[in-house]
Amino acid sequence: MSRLKAPVLFPAEDEFKSIECPGGCEDPRVAMTKDGLYVMLYTAWNRQTPRLAVATSKDF
């Protein structure tokens, strides 16, 4: 396994930034479905309210 130089998931300039900043995306769990979809559950943390969040990707 190798480590990438850039984060795979990070708070972006979108409608979800307020629930992920300034805290971040924490405690990720990744699984892959039978058809190759990566599903990541993580804690979105803005230093006030932790929330369960999900991200998906066909590419890795």
pLDDT in 10s for each residue of the chain, 60 residues = 788 898 777 778 888 888 988 988 889 999 999 999 999 999 999 999 999 999 999 875
Instruction: Give this prediction's pTM.
Output: 0.77
| Residues 27 and 53 sit within 8 Å (Cβ to Cβ) | no
pLDDT of residue 8: 78
The residues, ordered by sequence, that sit 6+ positions from 8 with a Cβ below 8 Å of its Cβ are none
pLDDT of residue 10: 77
CB atoms within 10 A of CB 42: 19
